[in-house]
């Protein structure tokens, strides 16, 4: 017989551990400030958003209607071309990036994908899975794509269609690759057959709400864009949205009789709960609420930079970014706080749950850790 008391104890212990860890989760862009209790009743249904959200499905236990509203709002935020866009809710940023690169590879089977050394680790994996030719480019010291290296490398391979993978907020420093500069390079080299995918996992829900955003969306030359849902909006399930120009998606669509739907997505069975969560958050906050939350997070990032610098800790951030970069802290701080490190640096990201009080506590612990472990 199963030991039910033991099982319950384990679940209680897990809940306690997650509850205590959440307030100190500052190193990864996962918003913890949400309440979906109103939607818990929908968890009793085996809902499934199989197929294209715009064409329907034989499986009628779905939330396609809500999914369409979600992607329509994301299309508005990304300035997608009227009547020439398509999208769906994904399992997260990796699937969104995979989709963009899949469409690009189908359009240009012999194309070469160019991405910077600061690109998320999953992209190299996707390119291996898809057997797409690729070249890693250098990054500038701030984490942005090295446009001179892009120009020179494209010049050498100008006979092959380029697939440009742009970081709209790089993983470690939040650097934004300027799509206008990328398009300028392509135009100067007179390269006509091109594809640009934008990985806007975090910044895709920040840049629409700032006064002077960097060139990053469809209006600036993107062919597809991936944005995470569990980052700025917040969700207990990893999720995201991918958008692409419809004329490209139409090239890969296939009709599947079994489910009565077009096969236009990466996954077959897809979460029908994630679109409901995203829809709920968009309705809860609205454009004005999202703008307000974004500004609060940016203010907290500025506060973090000021406080760290005031205590002799060299910290900095990019414009319109929530990512605050500083030297890698002592191990004792890394053990207490959830921080993302890479080589000699680390960062915190001021998501909505990372308040000024949280930042002040982090800085205090950072200073104490440095005092206990001074550099030789």
Question: What pLDDT score does 56 carry?
Answer: 82
Is CATH 3.90.1150.10 correct for 4-35+286-372? yes
Phi/psi at 262 (5° precision): -80, 135
pLDDT of residue 1: 52
Is CATH 3.40.640.10 what the domain over 39-282 is classified as, yes or no? Answer: yes
- For 202-240, what is each residue's pLDDT tens digit? 999 999 999 999 999 999 999 999 999 999 999 999 999
Per-residue tokens: 74 = 């994301």
What is the distance between the alpha carbons of residues 126 and 197, in angstroms, rounded to a whole number? 13
Does the pLDDT value for residue 367 go beyond 60? yes
Residue 59, classed as helix, strand or coil, is: coil
Edge to edge, the sheet with strand 323-327 lists: 323-327, 345-349, 340-342
Q: What is the mean pLDDT of residues 342-363?
A: 97
Local confidence band at 2 (pLDDT 50, 70, 90 cut-offs) = low
Q: For residue 256, what pLDDT is reported?
A: 41
What own/partner pairs with CB < 8 Å and gap ≥ 24 does 248-256 have? Answer: 248/103, 248/107, 248/195, 248/223, 248/224, 249/86, 249/103, 251/103, 251/106, 251/107, 252/102, 252/103, 252/106, 253/52, 256/51
Q: Which tens digits make up the pLDDT trace of 24-39?
A: 999 999 999 999 999 9
DSSP string covering 363-374:
HHHHHHHHHHS-
Report the C-alpha gap between 117 and 172 in whole angstroms.
Answer: 11
Minimum mean pLDDT range among 27-31, 53-57, 64-68, 296-300: 53-57
pTM of the model: 0.94
Catalytic residue among 37, 321, 332, 364: 321
What is residue 373's predicted lDDT score, i.e. its pLDDT?
79
Ramachandran angles phi, psi of 168, nearest 5°: -100, 75
Q: Tell me the pLDDT band of 278, cut-offs 50, 70 and 90.
A: very high
364 tagged catalytic: no
* pLDDT 10s digits, 254-267: 544 444 446 789 98
**What residues does each domain of the chain span?**
4-35+286-372, 39-282
Question: Tell me: the pLDDT tens digits for 137-190?
Answer: 999 999 999 999 999 999 999 999 999 999 999 999 999 999 999 999 999 999
Portion of the chain with pLDDT greater than 70, in percent: 95
pLDDT tens digit sequence for 78-123: 999 999 999 999 999 999 999 999 999 999 999 999 999 999 999 9
Residue 72 has pLDDT above 90, yes or no: yes
What pLDDT was estimated at residue 258?
41
Q: What is the DSSP letter of 229?
A: S
């Amino acid at each position: 017989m199963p030991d039910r008391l033991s099982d319950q104890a384990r679940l209680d212990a897990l809940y306690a551990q997650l509850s205590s860890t959440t307030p100190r989760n500052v190193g990864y862009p996962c918003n913890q400030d949400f309440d979906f209790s109103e939607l818990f009743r929908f968890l009793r249904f085996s809902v499934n958003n199989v197929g294209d959200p715009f064409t329907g499905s034989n499986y009628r236990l779905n939330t396609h209607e809500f999914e369409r509203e979600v992607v329509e709002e994301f299309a508005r935020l990304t300035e997608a071309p009227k009547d020439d866009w398509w999208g769906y809710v994904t399992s997260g940023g990796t699937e969104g990036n995979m989709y963009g690169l899949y469409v690009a590879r189908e359009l240009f089977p012999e194309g070469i994908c160019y991405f910077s050394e600061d690109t998320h680790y999953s992209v190299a994996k996707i390119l291996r899975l898809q057997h797409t030719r690729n070249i890693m480019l250098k990054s500038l010291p701030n984490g942005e794509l090295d446009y001179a290296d892009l120009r020179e490398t494209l010049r050498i391979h100008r006979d092959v269609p380029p697939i440009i993978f742009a970081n709209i907020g790089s993983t470690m420093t939040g650097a934004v690759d300027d799509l206008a500069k990328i398009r300028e390079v392509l135009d100067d080299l007179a390269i006509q057959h091109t594809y640009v995918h934008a990985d806007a996992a975090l910044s895709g829900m920040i840049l629409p709400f700032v006064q002077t955003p960097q060139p990053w969306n469809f209006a600036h030359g993107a062919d597809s864009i991936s944005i995470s849902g569990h980052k700025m909006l917040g969700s207990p399930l990893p999720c995201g949205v991918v958008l692409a120009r419809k004329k490209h998606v139409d090239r890969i669509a296939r009709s599947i009789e079994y489910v009565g739907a077009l096969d236009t997505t990466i996954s077959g069975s897809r979460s029908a709960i994630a679109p409901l969560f995203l829809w709920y958050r968009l309705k809860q906050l609205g454009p004005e609420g999202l703008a307000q939350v974004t500004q609060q997070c940016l203010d907290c990032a500025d506060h973090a930079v000021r406080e760290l610098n005031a205590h002799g800790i060299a910290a900095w951030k990019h414009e319109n970014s929530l990512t605050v970069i500083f030297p890698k802290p002592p191990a004792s701080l890394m053990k207490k706080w959830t921080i993302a490190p890479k080589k000699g640096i680390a960062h915190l990201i001021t998501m909505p749950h990372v308040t000024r009080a949280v930042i002040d506590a982090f800085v205090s612990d950072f200073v104490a850790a440095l005092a206990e472990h001074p550099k030789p």
